[in-house]
Amino acid sequence: MVHLDCDQNVLHWSSEEIIIPYLSPVDNRWHRYFPDFLVKVKNRAGVVETIIIEIKPSKQTVAPQTKKRVTRQYIKEVATYGINEAKWKAADEYCKDRNWTFKLVTEKELGI
Protein backbone atom coordinates (compact mmCIF):
# COMPACT_ATOMS: atom_id res chain seq x y z
CA MET A 1 0.00 0.00 0.00
CA VAL A 2 2.90 2.32 0.65
CA HIS A 3 4.03 1.69 -2.93
CA LEU A 4 0.61 2.77 -4.21
CA ASP A 5 0.70 5.91 -2.07
CA CYS A 6 4.19 6.87 -3.24
CA ASP A 7 3.86 6.12 -6.98
CA GLN A 8 3.07 9.35 -8.82
CA ASN A 9 1.44 7.39 -11.66
CA VAL A 10 -1.18 5.96 -9.29
CA LEU A 11 -4.13 8.33 -9.49
CA HIS A 12 -6.43 6.45 -7.13
CA TRP A 13 -6.53 3.18 -5.24
CA SER A 14 -8.92 1.50 -2.86
CA SER A 15 -9.10 -1.77 -0.99
CA GLU A 16 -11.96 -4.26 -1.27
CA GLU A 17 -14.23 -1.62 -2.81
CA ILE A 18 -15.72 -3.70 -5.62
CA ILE A 19 -18.09 -6.64 -5.28
CA ILE A 20 -17.99 -9.29 -8.02
CA PRO A 21 -20.56 -12.10 -7.96
CA TYR A 22 -19.23 -15.61 -8.67
CA LEU A 23 -20.68 -19.11 -8.72
CA SER A 24 -18.91 -21.38 -6.26
CA PRO A 25 -18.06 -24.85 -7.57
CA VAL A 26 -18.22 -26.19 -4.01
CA ASP A 27 -21.88 -25.45 -3.20
CA ASN A 28 -23.11 -24.28 -6.63
CA ARG A 29 -24.36 -21.02 -5.09
CA TRP A 30 -23.67 -17.38 -5.87
CA HIS A 31 -21.25 -15.61 -3.55
CA ARG A 32 -19.65 -12.17 -3.40
CA TYR A 33 -15.97 -11.67 -4.16
CA PHE A 34 -14.14 -8.59 -2.88
CA PRO A 35 -10.83 -8.22 -4.79
CA ASP A 36 -7.95 -6.83 -2.75
CA PHE A 37 -7.31 -3.62 -4.71
CA LEU A 38 -8.77 -1.37 -7.38
CA VAL A 39 -6.07 0.86 -8.84
CA LYS A 40 -6.25 3.65 -11.42
CA VAL A 41 -2.88 4.25 -13.02
CA LYS A 42 -1.53 6.53 -15.70
CA ASN A 43 0.58 4.34 -18.01
CA ARG A 44 3.69 5.39 -19.97
CA ALA A 45 1.54 6.62 -22.86
CA GLY A 46 -0.39 8.85 -20.43
CA VAL A 47 -3.55 6.74 -20.70
CA VAL A 48 -5.45 6.00 -17.50
CA GLU A 49 -5.85 2.26 -16.83
CA THR A 50 -7.97 0.59 -14.20
CA ILE A 51 -6.53 -2.57 -12.65
CA ILE A 52 -8.05 -4.99 -10.18
CA ILE A 53 -5.35 -6.72 -8.13
CA GLU A 54 -5.72 -9.91 -6.09
CA ILE A 55 -2.86 -10.98 -3.82
CA LYS A 56 -2.57 -14.68 -2.98
CA PRO A 57 0.12 -17.10 -1.81
CA SER A 58 1.60 -18.82 -4.87
CA LYS A 59 0.59 -22.19 -3.40
CA GLN A 60 -3.07 -21.23 -3.84
CA THR A 61 -2.62 -20.26 -7.50
CA VAL A 62 -1.89 -23.78 -8.77
CA ALA A 63 -4.10 -26.86 -8.61
CA PRO A 64 -3.10 -29.30 -5.86
CA GLN A 65 -1.36 -32.43 -7.09
CA THR A 66 -3.50 -35.55 -7.00
CA LYS A 67 -2.67 -37.71 -4.01
CA LYS A 68 -3.13 -41.43 -3.49
CA ARG A 69 -4.76 -40.88 -0.13
CA VAL A 70 -7.57 -38.33 0.09
CA THR A 71 -7.21 -36.43 3.35
CA ARG A 72 -9.18 -33.53 4.80
CA GLN A 73 -6.27 -31.26 4.03
CA TYR A 74 -6.25 -32.34 0.38
CA ILE A 75 -10.03 -31.81 0.10
CA LYS A 76 -9.62 -28.34 1.62
CA GLU A 77 -6.83 -27.48 -0.85
CA VAL A 78 -8.93 -28.63 -3.81
CA ALA A 79 -11.94 -26.64 -2.59
CA THR A 80 -9.84 -23.51 -2.00
CA TYR A 81 -8.29 -23.72 -5.46
CA GLY A 82 -11.69 -24.29 -7.08
CA ILE A 83 -13.22 -21.31 -5.31
CA ASN A 84 -10.24 -19.10 -6.14
CA GLU A 85 -10.38 -20.16 -9.78
CA ALA A 86 -14.10 -19.28 -9.93
CA LYS A 87 -13.40 -15.88 -8.35
CA TRP A 88 -10.59 -15.13 -10.80
CA LYS A 89 -12.66 -16.14 -13.80
CA ALA A 90 -15.50 -13.87 -12.64
CA ALA A 91 -13.05 -11.00 -12.01
CA ASP A 92 -11.45 -11.46 -15.42
CA GLU A 93 -14.86 -11.33 -17.14
CA TYR A 94 -15.86 -8.32 -15.02
CA CYS A 95 -12.71 -6.50 -16.11
CA LYS A 96 -13.06 -7.43 -19.78
CA ASP A 97 -16.60 -6.02 -19.79
CA ARG A 98 -15.19 -2.68 -18.58
CA ASN A 99 -11.93 -2.69 -20.53
CA TRP A 100 -10.00 -3.05 -17.28
CA THR A 101 -7.18 -5.41 -16.32
CA PHE A 102 -7.19 -8.18 -13.72
CA LYS A 103 -3.85 -9.11 -12.12
CA LEU A 104 -3.09 -11.95 -9.78
CA VAL A 105 -0.04 -11.17 -7.65
CA THR A 106 1.90 -13.59 -5.44
CA GLU A 107 4.80 -13.21 -3.03
CA LYS A 108 7.12 -13.84 -5.98
CA GLU A 109 6.02 -10.66 -7.77
CA LEU A 110 6.13 -8.74 -4.48
CA GLY A 111 9.67 -9.93 -3.78
CA ILE A 112 8.77 -11.47 -0.43
How many Å separate Cα 11 from the centre of its chain?
Answer: 20
pLDDT digits (tens, 9 = 90+) for 27-38: 999 999 999 999
How much is the pLDDT for 67? 81
Note the pTM of the prediction, 2 decimals: 0.85
Q: What is the mean pLDDT of residues 11-18?
A: 94
pLDDT tens-digit map of 59-109 = 888 888 888 888 898 999 999 999 999 999 999 999 999 999 999 999 888
DSSP state of 68: S
Kindly tell me the burial class for residue 39, based on how many C-beta atoms sit within 10 Å of its own C-beta (0-12, 13-18, 19 or more).
buried
Task: Write down the domain spans for the chain.
Answer: 2-106
**Rounded-to-10 torsion of CA 101, 53, 47, 14:** 130
Given this model, what pLDDT does residue 34 score? 97
